[in-house]
Structure 1
Amino acid sequence: MSGYVEQGEVVRNEQIGSDVWIMDIHAPKQAAEAKVGQFCNVRVADSTAPLLRRPISYAGFDAQKGIITLLYRVVGKGTEIMTRLVPGDTLDCLGPLGEPFVTSKNMLLVGGGVGIAPMLCIASHLKEGEEAQVILGFRNESETFWADLFKDTPVKVHITTDDGSVGTKGFPTAIMPELINANTFTSVMTCGPTPMMKGVAQVAKELNVPCQVSLEERMGCGTGGCLGCACDGAGGKRYKVCKDGPVFPAEEVFF
C-alpha cells in the first residue's frame, strides 16, 4: 500500500519536552486506515529545502474525528520547521505507510526515545481481549514526561532510567526477565535505539517469547522506490525498511 497524500490541517502542535513535540493533524483518510506500527511521511516545506519527507510513526489515530497524532523530536532543519506550524496550517502528509505490528493477547511493549510513539499507539488501540504492559527506558528523570502520555491507556507502565533517578536503574532489559517470568506474555514489541532493541530481542529470545522490532532508518521516498533505507536480513536477504518494515520479526533483522 502506498498510502494517501493528504493536505492535513494542524489541530494541535505543542512542545511537551525540551526537544519533543506532539502534533494532531486532521487527515481523515489516514486516520481511517492506519494500523499500529505504520508511519506518515511528511513534507515540511513547499520548497526544495529540505527536499525529503520526514518519516514519523503514528502515536495515535482517531477514525471518528479524522485525526492522526505524531510525536517528533527536533533534530534538524526539517523538524525545526514543523515546530513553527500552528492550528489551521496545512502539512503535506503521505500515509499510512509500512507494515504494522501484529498484536497478540498479552504484550510486553518496550520503548525508548521517540520509539515510544508506536508503543503508545498500541497501548491506545488494544483490541477486545488484548492487554499489555510497557517498559519505558529513559536517560534520567527529565525524560519521564513520556510516561504521562500513557495515563489514559489501560496498560501498566514500568520505568527504567540510566542513572536510577526514577524507577529501576539500568536499561529496559534489566527488568524484562522478572516481568516475563511473572506473566504469560505472548509477544514482545519494541521500538527505539538499535542497541536497546537488540538487547530486548536477545532477552525475548532467551526466554522464548516472540519479538517484533520497529526499525528506525533514514528514508528517502518512504514507498520502496529509492532503496535508501535498505538493510540486511537473515539468510542474505535485503529488506526495504519503509516497505517491508518498519516492523519485522526480530530474528529477521537481528541475527
Structure 2
Amino acid sequence: MVETHHQNAAVASPGGTPQESFLAINHVRDNLIAPKDRKRMAGLWEKAVKFLDENESRIRREVQQVSGEEFHVWRWLPNNNLNKSNSQNFVLNKKSKVWQGQAFETMEGSANSLTCSPTPCLKIRHMFDADVEFEDDWETKVQDAILEKCGEGVKILHIRVDRGSREGCVYMKCMSQDDAGKAYRALHGCWFDGHLVTVKYLRLERYYERFPDARRCTTPLKPSNNQRLSMQADY
C-alpha cells in the first residue's frame, strides 16, 4: 500500500511532493482491518508495525501534519533494493539535507504569524529523525540549514540540537524578539528533508533553565561553510 501510494503520487504530480508521498499509519490499518475487528486484532497490528520499524528498510516512519493534526506516517524510500549501488545512493541522498518548499503562509499579517514575538527563544520540531541519522556531522548540517534558511538578516546567538529527541527538536535563542519573529516566519511550515517543520516560542527563563550556557552567547552564529547546501534543492 505504501509503495503503491508513493508511485501514484509521483504520477499524479511529476517530481512528487512531500505532502503526497506518505501515508498515515492509522490509515493503512483502517484499510486493512475492518472496524469490527480492530479491537480484537490490535495486538497483532502493533506487532506488524514493530516488525516493519525494525526490519523493513524501504519504509521510514515520520511525524507529519495531516489536515492540521500530527500523525505517525510511513514514507516509501524509492530505489533501495538492498544492493550495494542503491545503498550508496541512499547514503548520498542522506548527505543532502535541503529545504523543500513551504506548506502554508507565515509572513507578517498571515493567520500563522503573531503580530509581536513574545520571546527571543524558539523550539523547532521535525528537523531530523534520530533513528536514521548516522553521519558524524549531521548535527552541524541541521544547524547550518537553520542558519542558511534564516539568512544573515537574523541574528541567532545559540542553537542546541536535541539529538535524543523523538520529535527532531532544535532549540534556538535569537538576539532579539524581532529576530525571533523573522526566524519563526522563515522556518514554520516549511518542508525540510521530508519533514514538515513547526516552530513555537519558548519563555526566556525556561530556555535559560535548560541551557544556562546560552546566557554567555553574545556573538551571532554563522554556518560552518558558505556553500548554502541546504538551499540547493530543485523544487
- TM-score strictly above 0.5: no
Greater fraction strand: 1
Q: Which has the larger radius of gyration?
A: 2
> Which structure ranks higher in relative contact order (CA pairs < 8 Å, sequence separation ≥ 6)?
2
Greater fraction helix: 2
Give TM-score scaled by structure 1 length. Answer: 0.27
Give TM-score scaled by structure 2 length. Answer: 0.29
